[in-house]
Each structure stands twice: as structure tokens, then as C-alpha cells.
Amino acid sequence: MIVAAASGTFAADLYRLRPLPAGVDPSAVEPPPADVRIVTSDGSSIPAHSSVLGSASSTLEQMLDRPLKKRKSEKIISILGVPSDAVVMFLRFLYSSRCGEEEMERFGIHLLVLSHVFCVHALKQRCTRELARRLVVENVVDVLQLAKLCDAPDLYLKCMKLIFNDSKSVEATEGWKFLQKHDAWLELEILQFLDETESRKKRSKKMREEQSLYMELSEAMECLEHICIEGCTSVGPLDKGPSKSRGPCKSFSTCHGLQHLIRHFATCEKKANGGCCRCKRMWQLFRLHASVCERRDSCKVPLCRQFKMKMQQKKMGNDARWRLLVRRVVSARAVSSLSSTKRKRSETRDAIDMGAALLHES
């Protein structure tokens, strides 16, 4: 490559890489003489055209616009710190706007640095994508450092996620050990990210669990109305009895348990006041119904009217935890508009404990 770069035809070959308008024969294109030289780390000097470089990179354009130093007739730009072959690949991209798979594989990292430094947006995007695609445990720490350095947030995040998902293997790599020795800040940044991601995951799991509890309660409320209004397999409205003709309803697992509980409530000798837990739970479910029920006088659910009257007299329902539980159950009914309102965790916790107690055997 270096030999080719030094030869006279190299600049002309580069020039012919430029995309041509349709119908133009590449061999008919007469390349202008090179007017700039790119000097690389190993001392190679690559001839090129300032018009092409300037239009592909605003940074190069600025460098080329600077007045020449005395007695020099040719512009020289030094691109150091990356292998010469990577510089050649970079130049080929500036001329052709293209870069092959193999070049990406070999020089992706260097091309990312060059595209960042010289503001070649299209190449930077391509490198970011390709490096993300080729990300593995062995190179993730190096690529992360580079992504940070080159301000490539997508790639940075992808690296962090890989480290999060496989932190044990990453910690065994040379890259990680090097980082620990030489870049304590980045190590701290990674550990912080892992920590935050972990707690974010826990938080959303907890929220899902809470939401599903309120959904269950909301379903229980629907079943209660359905049993008391339409009737289900073993319990029916007061005036009708169970509807034997119906098959199991769509929420039968909840409905079945609830019918069991209602039958127990009707026949239990201890009752809630006598300390029966199941009756107490049924009592609370009736109370919850009354709290969310919007019917005025015609509701067929037992105790609905009595509870509503008590609530109006403010003898009941002033409890903040209870009100929160009711709000949550009501909002669970509107599944699509999952509430993102933040409430005090402790209050919510109480409401959840209360909800769980209503649903499950204690």
C-alpha cells in the first residue's frame, strides 16, 4: 500500500473512485494533478486532491484553507497515530463514499477515530453501526473507551449493555484489567451504570408486580358485579340464584374463588366480627366494591348501599391507605393509561399489603 501511495498514479486512481454521473466513462475522466500530501506515522506521503478532501470534510477544508508557509508550494497534512493503511482506507472513503466489509473488519476502530476527528458524518455512522455489530466480550472495553472518546452515544450504550449482560466474562478480559489499572474514572462510570441498570430493572419488576395486584383486584370487582347481577355457576343474584345454563365465564378462576368466598360468607357462623379471616376479606371486597361503584340506588351487590351511606356520613373511607387502594384499583381498570404518578412509597406499600390481604388467604 505504501508503495502504491508513493507512486505517481495513486492520486489518479483515487480520483477515479469518485462517483460519476450516469453515462460518464471513468476512463475518459482526466484527473487533475494532486495538490496536497498526506503524511502518516510511518513517514508515507500520499498525494491527494484538496478539492475532494475539502468537500468531504469540513475539518480538512479548514486545514487546507490555511495560508502556505513560506517557500512551500505544496500543502501537507499530517495524520498520525493510526496505521498508514487505515489512512489510505480513510482517503478512499473520502473519494468514493464507500467502504467494504473487509476494510471495516480490519480498520473499523481507526476509521471511527478518523471520521470523528475530521467530521465525516457518514463514515462515523457506518463505523458506529459496524463496530456495534462486531461487539464481543473480548473487545468491548476497548470499543467502549473509543466510543466515549469519539462521542458515539449509541455505541457507548451498546457496550455498556453487553458489559451488564456478561460482566463476569468481561471482568476476565485483558481490556478490563488494563482499564482498572489505567482508567479508574471509566471503571467507576461502568460500575455506576451497572448498578443503576440493576436497580432500574428491580424497580420495574416491582412496579409490574404491583400493577398486576391491582389488576387482580380490579378483575375481582368485575367478577363480583357479574356474580351479583348476572349470576355465575354456583352463585346468582339474590332474586334469581345461580345460572346453571351458563358455562364458566371468561375470568372463571377469579370468579370461582369469589363464589366460594361468597357462599362461605353467607353460611359462616363466626362471621367477620367473630374473627373469621375469610369473612373479613369478603367484607372488605364488598367495601371496595362500594368505593368504586358508580350506581346510585339500583346496585345489586350486597352491602353496597350501606357502605355508601356510611362513607357519606364520613364514618368510613377517610383512611388514606384505603383511598389510595381505591384509586389504584380504579386506575388499574383503565389498563391502557397505566398511571405514572409518583406516590409516596410507604403509602403505596400499605395499599399493596392491603390489596394482597384482600386477594389471598392469610
Q: Does 262 bind Zn ion (CB under 5 A)?
A: no
Residue with Cβ nearer Zn ion (2 or 268): 268
Binding segment for Zn ion among 169-177, 186-194, 213-221, 275-283 (CB under 5 A)?
275-283
- Cα angle 238, 215, 284 (rounded to 5 degrees) comes to 45
Q: Does 268 bind Zn ion (CB under 5 A)?
A: yes
Question: How near is the Cβ of 220 to Zn ion at its closest, in Å?
Answer: 11
Helix 101-117 and helix 140-149, axial crossing angle in degrees, nearest 10: 40
- Per-residue string for binding with Zn ion, 96-135, x by CB under 5 A? ----------------------------------------
Query: Out of 109, 143, 293, 329, which residue is the one contacting Zn ion (CB under 5 A)?
Result: 293
The region, left, alpha or beta by phi > 0 then psi within -120 to 50, assigned to residue 242 is beta
Question: How near is the Cβ of 304 to Zn ion at its closest, in Å?
Answer: 3
CA atoms in the 13 A half-sphere facing the CB of 257: 16
Query: Out of 163, 249, 285, 288, which residue is the one contacting Zn ion (CB under 5 A)?
Result: 249
Dist. CA 232–CA 224, nearest whole Å: 10
Residue with Cβ nearer Zn ion (33 or 241): 241
CA atoms in the 13 A half-sphere facing the CB of 306: 6
Dist. CA 188–CA 201, nearest whole Å: 20
- Per-residue string for binding with Zn ion, 178-217, x by CB under 5 A? ----------------------------------------
Query: If binding means CB under 5 A, how many residues of this protein chain bind Zn ion?
Result: 11
294: buried, middle or exposed (CB in 10 Å: 19+, 13-18, 0-12)? exposed
Query: Out of 2, 215, 276, 359, which residue is the one contacting Zn ion (CB under 5 A)?
Result: 276
341: buried, middle or exposed (CB in 10 Å: 19+, 13-18, 0-12)? exposed
Binding segment for Zn ion among 33-41, 89-97, 195-203, 261-269 (CB under 5 A)?
261-269
What H or E segment, with its residue span, contains residue 198?
A: helix 184-229
DSSP 128: H
Q: Does 38 bind Zn ion (CB under 5 A)?
A: no
- Footprint of Zn ion on this chain (CB under 5 A)? 232, 249, 255, 268, 276, 278-279, 293, 299, 301, 304
